[in-house]
A and B are shown apart, each in its own frame.
Chain A
Amino acid sequence: MKSRIFKHASLFLCAAILASCIGCSSGSQNSGSSAPATNNSTNVSSETNWPQKKLQIVVPFSAGGDTDFHARLYAKYLSNILGQNVIVTNVNGSNGATGSTQVKDASPNGYTALFFHDSMLMNKVVGVTDFDHTAFDICCGGVVDTSYILAVNASSPYKTLDDLVQAAKKDPGKITYASSVGGYTYYVGCLLEKLTGISLNKVDAGGGSERNAALLAKKIDTNVNPYGVMKPYIDSGDFRVLCVFSDKRSDLYPDVPTAKEQGYDLAAQRVYFLAFPKGTDSAIIEKMNNAMKQVSEMPEYKKAIEKSYCLSPKFKDTQDTKSYFDKTIDQFMSDKSLIMGE
């Protein structure tokens, strides 16, 4: 008798967990559809009744990274503006190629979108994929990261970018530069070499946080990454920033000089964009573009990305983003031999 109760109880338990699992992925749909009409007053010129159901944004990396952060921050505010739930789904693998492919092959109905950045183009250049941004309908660039900095350990003798370049000239191939081969920071290293005529020992030391540890332990000499990734160590005085690869100084860390100021005309940036599968209704793209623009202007949004990633909000609309990537892919392609390491 007693055992039968337990049997039923445990079966019920299993069913309940199953239900809750399914609920987590689709349940939000129900909660969203109860209040769509109220928010549909968003001022959109072209007439589209999209979205009628939840919208899925695919982040081609696992949860917890920078791309995931930016996508989720947008999703949080977009849900209110669009009146439907905006869900972030992580599809990790092949430096973003797996998730990109999934969205590229999805139905262009406006309910699946991709949130990615310049690495999509880099993937094509190094041969990981055979498509670039033109395989999608680009919506807009939501985040523009111009915070790439070059840092050294505080105990290192280099005080300026010039110190570093001179030292590298004296001892070619001795200064270690951490990056992942075929990644964006590897490319920045190649550009620096090309610009200054120096030769660095470009080594792989893992992702952003692993590189921080390597620089802290002086296993590497220099590290290039967005400011936010190294901020804790800059604040603690463990790292010294030599320059930011940007056209002008940031308001958030005005003490850091640009590379340009120091006579090395090199700027790096990464644009996080949203894209739909090819063939999506242009009215949908316009509506999403407007909604994301609205988010990027929100003070709460500004506060969040300043605090977490040391970035100021910048927005690129559909046309801007397209021409940016058209230009970027040309540049990457012309530097292909550089990126592929001769």
Chain B
Amino acid sequence: MAGVVLKDIRKAYGQVKVLHGIDLDVAEGEFVVFVGPSGCGKSTLLRMIAGLETITGGEMSIDGKVVNDVPPSRRGIAMVFQSYALYPHMSVYDNMAFGLRIAHQSKSEVDRRVRAAADILQLTPYLDRLPKALSGGQRQRVAIGRAICRDPKVFLFDEPLSNLDAALRVATRIEIARLKEQMPETTMIYVTHDQVEAMTLADRIVVLSAGRVEQVGPPLELYEHPTNLFVARFIGSPAMNIIPGTIARSGEETSVSFADGRSVSVPIATTDARSGDVVSLGVRPEDLALAQGEDYLFEGPVSIVEALGEVTLLYVEGPSGTEPVTAKLPGSVGVRKNDTVRLHADPAKLHLFDASGKAFSKRR
């Protein structure tokens, strides 16, 4: 199994602890995306898998072998850097051939593998060029080509698209997805802070925050069943609305009451001991709709209307001291600034979190 197994992986720079014990099991051929805000340790973790950072504690194995002290070149990995990290003084061909030549591959073997990689990435016309004569997207493809040439068991990507412009980012993202399809045996680990990349590419997403794993799961599971407030707010755009409340009645269905005295029934079970607890009710902007009658979740004046054509975003002010609620409504709606609107949501789409941020589990 060319999987990657992390057991209680820790990293500290002197007294500063960066990673606090990461456990993760990446299966062979899986596409795993590390996502999290900047400074959460996701790049550090990737660099530890690559062997560019030492491992302070825990055990890491690739393909069944413990690699804590194995140099990067013998871990069977290849890495694509955010800055591409092409050798500026070498042609595209030499950039891709460098690793193979270092490994004393025969000339014909080097040529075969470089040309095969160039073919996959449509780089053949540029083989003689220097990196500085290439566009950003082409440079990124060379960096990927260099990784392919190593024929790695594990492919590591460190924010590979963040230096590209928006249009190129979409095109390259699709290219990476296609590349993964062509290499079903190859494990890929991809670091990004862009949740769209994470959602579209990943078999499983690992959400990291402040050096800890918040949740691991397939993209839609993270979207539909976040296990805590952090993941709930991190996955999905605009972020999930959080409305503070208290548990008025517990049971099979939980009744949550708000500061203005109204309450709403949520089909999530809570125990009696929880009665009176402070909770956060979560609802995604796209699950909100304009309410016609008296059955509504939230009421307030609209402070900003963002009409994007495809959707309209409404920012609805709540009582002072609370964050505005964002609603994402399909198409264009006839609501103007300062109108008072009522929003409601399908109770099945509501999320409930306790005071510590942990989600009350929903029935699936």
Q: Is this pair of chains taken from one and the same complex?
A: no
Residue ranges of A at the interface with B (Cβ–Cβ < 8 Å): none
Residue ranges of B at the interface with A (Cβ–Cβ < 8 Å): none
